[in-house]
Amino acid sequence: MSPHRSSRTQRTIRDVVFVDGVRTPFGKAGDKGIYAGTRADDLVVKCIRELMRRNPALPAERVDEVAIAATTQTGDQGLTIGRTAALLAGLPRTVPGFAIDRMCAGAMTAVTTTASGIGFGAYDVVIAGGVEHMGNHPMGVDADPNPRFMSERLVDPAALNMGNTAENLHDRFPAITKERADSYAVASQAKLAAAYTKGQIQPDLVPVATMKPEQGWTVNTVDEPPRPGTTVDDLAALRTPFRAHGRVTAGNAAGLNDGATAAVLASAEAAEELGLSVKMRLVSYAFAGVEPEVMGIGPVPATEKALRNAGLGIEDIGLFEINEAFAVQVLSFLDHFGIADDDPRVNRYGGAIAVGHPLASSGVRLMNQLARQFEEDPTVRFGLTTMCIGLGMGATVIWENPHHPGYLSGTSTETATDAESEGAAA
Just list the catalytic residues.
104, 357, 388
Residue/partner pairs of 94-98 with CB below 8 Å, 24 or more apart:
94/61, 95/60, 95/61, 95/63, 95/64, 95/65, 95/66, 96/64, 96/65, 96/66, 97/65, 97/66, 97/67, 97/68, 98/65, 98/66, 98/67, 98/68
Instruction: Round to whole Å and give the CA distance between 130 and 100.
Output: 9
Which H or E run includes 330? helix 327-336
Which H or E run includes 380? none
For 20-63, give the DSSP string: EEEEPPPEESSTTSTTTT--HHHHHHHHHHHHHHH-TTS-GGG-
Instruction: Round to whole Å and give the CA distance between 30 and 146.
Output: 28
What is the DSSP-derived secondary structure letter of residue 326? B
Identify the burial level of 421 via C-beta atoms within 10 angstroms of its C-beta, where 0-12 means exposed, 13-18 middle and 19 or more buried.
exposed
Cβ neighbours for 187, distance < 8 A, ≥ 6 positions apart: 341, 342, 350
387 strand-pairing partners: 395
